[in-house]
Chains A and B, each alone.
Chain A
Amino acid sequence: MPTRIQTNDSNDSIVLSFECKGGHKSGTAITLNHIPLPSHSDDFQVVLGTNKGLKGNTLIVTTSVLKTSLEPKATLTYSITGTGTPNISASTSGFDEDDDEDNNVLTKMIIYKFI
């Protein structure tokens, strides 16, 4: 299920942060309510908007990771801050765990619903 983020009526900024551990190269695409936002290479931090403005929107974040180091796994951490309680979602995946035969690239996605 998409992750619910409780907003308030303030003009406080909501920030999305991403980091990938394992020494691997990554690229992330972001869509906010069907509108593509600028994409990012590797770790990043981006201001999505205000609590007030984001209420009712859906955010889709997709990251593709390319195996670059010896480490067979990658740990991807997405954080949403600025909404009272920070939401941190971390997951570790192995390149060979992908159902796909392609084991040099893994793709992760997280959906946020701002309520």
Chain B
Amino acid sequence: MNNYFKYCLFLTIILCENLFAQNDIKIDQLQTPSSPAFTLLDLNPENVERPKNPTDFAVALANATKNFSVIPNSYAVEMAPFWVMGGGKSISYKQFIDHKNGWQNILQTAVLSAATTTSKSAIDSSDFNQVSVGLKFSFVRGKVGKEWKKWDDSASYYLIKNAEAINKIVDSLIFVDSALGRKEKDDNEYLKEATKIYKNSALKSVLNDLASKTDFKRYGWKLDFAVGSVLDYPNNTFQTCYVSKVGAWLTGGIEKEDGINFLGVVRYTQNVYRKVLNDNAIVANNITVGNIDYGVRVYKDLTEKFTLSLEYVARAYFYNSKKLIDSNITSPKNTDRYVLSLNYKVGTNKNISFSLGKNFDNSIIKINNSDLIAALSIGLGFGSNRPAPSAN
């Protein structure tokens, strides 16, 4: 029944994606899934998230390649509250493009995310659900590049051409009405008449084309902040949930118009283990371990659709040694993670990412000793009727 439900959900997502895909404007803003909610569940292919502009609603599915024959069991959704709640009504084009106003950067890039996955219990290997929520926004989002300038010049030229042609026709219509002594019409009536007369399909085609090419890249210095927490449902009942992880992190760096890009991350995470098996396989209660991750990601867009990325993240643990010794738990040792990722844009708002590398070593929970990362992820963006300048 559970698999049947997941299968239906998966089909619904694909069908919805097709419905939303009928929107007239297509945009490409979705990169590899990088929801904070996914990161806290350790489901992101990359640990150093590449800053990106929010789609208004995006869904990411993830699954280990070894299980890819089944329906994915990890899902993330993202929502941009500023755009969904009508914040865009109050901003000008200049504010939309600008990168200098920190408050506007935060508002326009804020993304709320939620994710869910099924995990194995450290005590008896039974399945239980984890739900994660997160918030991410950019303090610094980079400035639009040369391609935007080219687009802006073209858009200005053709919009003015369109307005001038209609203006000229309206002027003639008013002149004729005045010359013939006819009663003055309403502004909108003149406009309707003029647009009926002026049928320039070539100009409309150019403007529509421009509307579909607003996937401007942003370059320069970038700084993102993310925060989130994970709720565990050990008995898969609502009443038994508890906060098992909280985290906050900064991701920043520089992205150039040409060349290799660098991003760094500093992340603090606090893990709470209500029940965990100690070295003698006896249940220990309420173990808290914190860690700080720090690392870099180097990547390059090899083509418009293909991105190669390499990242290295080190992890330092801190904990109450006495509590661990009393509980007969071996102290976790500092560890690291490195991943090579290939991201391919399949189409508008569709991305496939393959990642291969070594994950952090398990330190407290010993249920899964594999440190291999071999993941295939899919990203889908829905309802993104916003050809916004993206930060990718």
Q: Which residues of A contact B385 (CB under 8 A)?
A: 67, 70, 72
Near B by CB (< 8 A), chain A positions 58-111 give: 58, 60-73, 75, 99-100, 102-105, 107-111
Distance in angstroms between the alpha carbons of A29 and B166 in the assembled complex: 9
Verify B94–A71 contact, CB threshold 8 A: no
Q: Which residues of A contact B91 (CB under 8 A)?
A: 21-23, 69, 71
Distance in angstroms between the alpha carbons of A75 and B90 in the assembled complex: 9
Verify B167–A29 contact, CB threshold 8 A: yes
Q: Does chain A have a CB within 8 A of B387?
A: yes
Nearest Cβ on chain A to B231's Cβ, whole angstroms? 30
Verify B164–A23 contact, CB threshold 8 A: no
Verify A104–B163 contact, CB threshold 8 A: no
Verify A111–B190 contact, CB threshold 8 A: yes
Q: Does chain B have a CB within 8 A of A17?
A: no
Distance in angstroms between the alpha carbons of A91 and B374 in the assembled complex: 54
Verify B214–A68 contact, CB threshold 8 A: yes
Distance in angstroms between the alpha carbons of A30 and B240 in the assembled complex: 67
Residue ID in chain B nearest A65 by CB atoms:
B159
Near A by CB (< 8 A), chain B positions 283-331 give: none
CB within 8 Å for A39 and B164 given contacts A21-B90, A25-B93: yes
Verify B163–A107 contact, CB threshold 8 A: yes
Distance in angstroms between the alpha carbons of A1 and B184 in the assembled complex: 6
Q: Which residues of A contact B56 (CB under 8 A)?
A: 70
B25 touches which of A22, A75, A104, A110 (Cβ 8 Å):
A104
Near B by CB (< 8 A), chain A positions 18-59 give: 19-31, 34, 36, 39-43, 58
Verify B156–A27 contact, CB threshold 8 A: yes
Verify B88–A22 contact, CB threshold 8 A: yes
Verify A31–B24 contact, CB threshold 8 A: no
Q: Which residues of A contact B192 (CB under 8 A)?
A: 99
Q: Which residues of B contact A24 (CB under 8 A)?
A: 93, 96
Q: Which residues of A contact B184 (CB under 8 A)?
A: 1-2
CB within 8 Å for A62 and B166 given contacts A21-B92, A104-B211: yes
Verify B88–A70 contact, CB threshold 8 A: yes
Q: Does chain A have a CB within 8 A of B64?
A: no
Verify A68–B167 contact, CB threshold 8 A: no
Verify A26–B83 contact, CB threshold 8 A: no
A31 touches which of B83, B158, B171, B188 (Cβ 8 Å):
B171
Verify A43–B388 contact, CB threshold 8 A: no
Q: Which residues of A contact B161 (CB under 8 A)?
A: 27
Distance in angstroms between the alpha carbons of A41 and B161 in the assembled complex: 11
Distance in angstroms between the alpha carbons of A103 and B22 in the assembled complex: 13
Verify B208–A104 contact, CB threshold 8 A: yes
B94 touches which of A28, A43, A111 (Cβ 8 Å):
A43
Verify B93–A63 contact, CB threshold 8 A: no
Distance in angstroms between the alpha carbons of A68 and B387 in the assembled complex: 6
Nearest Cβ on chain A to B144's Cβ, whole angstroms? 12
Q: Which residues of B contact A73 (CB under 8 A)?
A: 89
A residues bordering B, Cβ < 8 Å? 1-2, 19-31, 34, 36, 39-43, 58, 60-73, 75, 99-100, 102-105, 107-111
Q: What are some 22 contacts across the A-B interface (CB < 8 A)?
A: A22-B91, A23-B92, A25-B159, A26-B93, A31-B170, A34-B171, A58-B174, A60-B170, A61-B167, A62-B167, A62-B170, A64-B162, A65-B159, A66-B210, A68-B155, A69-B387, A73-B89, A102-B207, A105-B204, A105-B208, A107-B191, A111-B190
Q: Which 5 A-B pairs have the closest CB atoms?
A: A70-B386, A27-B159, A71-B88, A23-B96, A104-B211
